[in-house]
Amino acid sequence: MAEVTLEDLDHVGPATAQKLRESGYNSVEAIAVASPTDLSLSADIGESAASKIINSARRSANIGGFETGDLVMERRKQVGKLSTGCSEFDEMMEGGIDTQSITELYGEFGSGKTQIAHQLAVNVQLPNEQGGLNGSVIFIDTENTFRPERIKQMVQGASEHHNIDYDPEEFLKNIHVARAYNSNHQILLMDSAMELAEESKNWEQPVRLLIVDSLTAHFRAEYIGRGTLADRQQKLNKHLHALQRFSDLYNAVIIVTNQVMSKPDAFFGDPTKPIGGHIIGHTATFRMYLRKSKGDKRIVRLVDSPNLPDGESIISVTPLGLTNP
Ligand SMILES: Nc1ncnc2c1ncn2[C@@H]1O[C@H](COP(=O)(O)OP(=O)(O)OP(=O)(O)O)[C@@H](O)[C@H]1O
């Protein structure tokens, strides 16, 4: 079947199609999941015209209605598994971290959240036989934690583990890093991420992993005091929805990190309760609680999963990356 383009949609002429593309709406799917307000501002059209375009896109992309269980099953079959490189951790996740879902890593400072994110940015680039997804990475960095040197060390680790001479420079070229300077910027970066992922469909290694390290730091710093809680929650939810959409559209793994203190936190509450409430929709969400243990060991606890039992696994953070303890 020929691919549906923007021009095929009802109420979209060449000029509107161009404006939509310029604003980052490159595919029918991206329009199908947009809000009328956002679309009307981007394409300079009225909200009712925007709604009609969105409806037409939803019909074409078959998004927005009810689905039967067999279709949901069909999509579930496409779920990919990204290996962490640690056997217990992978077993706990029944083979690795799922695509089409958001995985939240939370824990205290130094518990290994950023290390796991870096390791996955390496592993996702490996071929399927080696636990990867043959994909590229988008890394939204809010606290200046991305370290290319660390990626190089981990690529060296992967080379030794698989006995293949990988080129660290090639791995670095497949990681697209953007600094987010505040929470609004962080939310806006999702538009660029969508654009890049869309473009990457033509690449040898399309984007299959999106990391937000840290998801919550800016929100925490900017929304101080009880009075701002609702605002913060609303923005965070919007951001999570954009992430969920991204994972669906590109069959991607989404990793978000969230620093918590060991004692309950005034703004984010008990660390064992979900932040941002329950995410609506069919996208699964996994939550993992990281704790420091002896030496380089870290305990990863699966706290909340839609389809797997809760469990614990132990990993080591070594100079060459994550390994079995
Ligand atoms: N090159 C390396 N070799 C060995 N271990 C390392 C290396 N780099 C980092 N680590 C380990 O990882 C720890 C830092 O973990 P990480 O940065 O993932 O924490 P985090 O959970 O992201 O913390 P924060 O919330 O402060 O960002 C260090 O304390 C160290 O134990």
Q: Domain tally for the chain? A: 2
Q: Is residue 66 part of a domain?
A: no
Q: State whether 145 and 232 are in the same domain.
A: yes
Whether 295 is in the pocket of ligand 1, judged by its Cβ within 6 Å, is no
By alpha-carbon position, which residue is closest to atom 29 of ligand 1? 110
Q: Is residue 29 part of a domain?
A: yes
**Section 79-97 average pLDDT:** 96
Q: Residue 134 belongs to a domain with what CATH number? A: 3.40.50.300
By alpha-carbon position, which residue is closest to atom 7 of ligand 1? 319
Q: State whether 39 and 168 are in the same domain.
A: no
> 131-152 burial, b for 16+ CB within 10 Å, e for fewer?
bbbbbbbbbbbbeebbeeebbe
Query: What Å distances lie between residue 259 and 110, 172, 216, 314, CA to CA?
Result: 9, 26, 8, 19
pLDDT classification of 73: cutoffs 50, 70, 90? confident
Q: Residue 12 belongs to a domain with what CATH number? A: 1.10.150.20
Whether 112 is in the pocket of ligand 1, judged by its Cβ within 6 Å, is yes
CB-facing half-sphere around the CA of 317: CA atoms within 13 A:
23
Query: Tell me, what's the pLDDT at 166?
Result: 97
Q: Is residue 1 part of a domain?
A: no
Domain end, chosen from 61, 85, 105, is at 61
Dist CA 271 CA 263 (whole Å)? 8
- Check if the beta carbon of residue 176 is closer than 8 Å to that of residue 196: yes
Q: Is residue 208 part of a domain?
A: yes
129 - beta bridge partners?
none
- Check if the beta carbon of residue 124 is closer than 8 Å to that of residue 209: yes
By alpha-carbon position, which residue is closest to atom 17 of ligand 1? 114
Q: State whether 243 and 319 are in the same domain.
A: yes
Q: Is the pLDDT of residue 64 over 80?
A: no
Q: Is residue 310 part of a domain?
A: yes
pTM: 0.81
Q: State whether 101 and 45 are in the same domain.
A: no
Task: Respond yes or no on whether the N-terminal peptide bond of residue 305 is cis (omega within 30° of 0).
Answer: no
Our mutation pick for probing the ligand 1 site, out of 105, 106, 114, counting the most ligand atoms within 8 A of Cβ, is 114
Mean pLDDT estimate for the chain: 88
- Helix residue spans in the chain (DSSP H): 14-22, 28-32, 36-43, 47-61, 69-77, 87-92, 113-123, 148-162, 168-173, 183-200, 217-222, 229-249
Whether 119 is in the pocket of ligand 1, judged by its Cβ within 6 Å, is no
Whether 111 is in the pocket of ligand 1, judged by its Cβ within 6 Å, is yes
Our mutation pick for probing the ligand 1 site, out of 149, 261, 262, 317, counting the most ligand atoms within 8 A of Cβ, is 317
Residue 264's closest CA among 142, 143, 108, 114? 108
Dist CA 1 CA 61 (whole Å)? 13
Query: Tell me, what's the pLDDT at 284?
Result: 52
pLDDT classification of 129: cutoffs 50, 70, 90? very high
Q: Is residue 229 part of a domain?
A: yes
Residue 58's closest CA among 100, 17, 9, 2? 9
- Check if the beta carbon of residue 315 is closer than 8 Å to that of residue 325: yes
Q: Is residue 287 part of a domain?
A: yes
Whether 318 is in the pocket of ligand 1, judged by its Cβ within 6 Å, is yes
Q: State whether 56 and 81 are in the same domain.
A: no
Q: Is the pLDDT of residue 287 over 50?
A: yes
**Section 114-133 average pLDDT:** 98
**Segments forming the whole domain that contains residue 57:** 6-61
pLDDT classification of 272: cutoffs 50, 70, 90? low
Among the listed ranges 27-41, 269-283, 301-315, which one has the minimum average pLDDT value?
269-283
Q: State whether 40 and 113 are in the same domain.
A: no
Q: Give all strands of the β-sheet with 101-107 in edge-to-edge order.
A: 175-179, 136-141, 207-213, 253-259, 101-107, 284-292, 297-304, 311-318, 321-323
Q: State whether 240 and 140 are in the same domain.
A: yes
3 state DSSP class of 6: helix
The pLDDT tens digits of the residues spanning 170-212 come to 999 999 999 999 999 999 999 999 999 999 999 999 999 999 9
Q: State whether 84 and 39 are in the same domain.
A: no
DSSP summary character for residue 53: H
The pLDDT tens digits of the residues spanning 214-245 come to 998 998 888 877 677 677 777 888 898 889 88
Q: State whether 186 and 262 are in the same domain.
A: yes
pLDDT classification of 30: cutoffs 50, 70, 90? confident
Q: How far is CA 266 from its chain centroid?
A: 26
249 vs 264, higher pLDDT: 249
Query: Tell me, what's the pLDDT at 279?
Result: 39
Q: Is residue 126 part of a domain?
A: yes
Q: State whether 117 and 262 are in the same domain.
A: yes
Q: How far is CA 87 from its chain centroid?
A: 23
pLDDT classification of 277: cutoffs 50, 70, 90? very low
Q: State whether 151 and 275 are in the same domain.
A: yes
Whether 319 is in the pocket of ligand 1, judged by its Cβ within 6 Å, is yes
**Section 28-33 average pLDDT:** 81
CA-angle at 157, arms to 251 and 209, nearest 5°: 15
Q: Is the pLDDT of residue 270 over 70?
A: no
Give Cβ neighbours of residue 230 (< 8 Å, ≥ 6 apart): none
Dist CA 308 CA 302 (whole Å)? 9
Q: State whether 118 and 187 are in the same domain.
A: yes
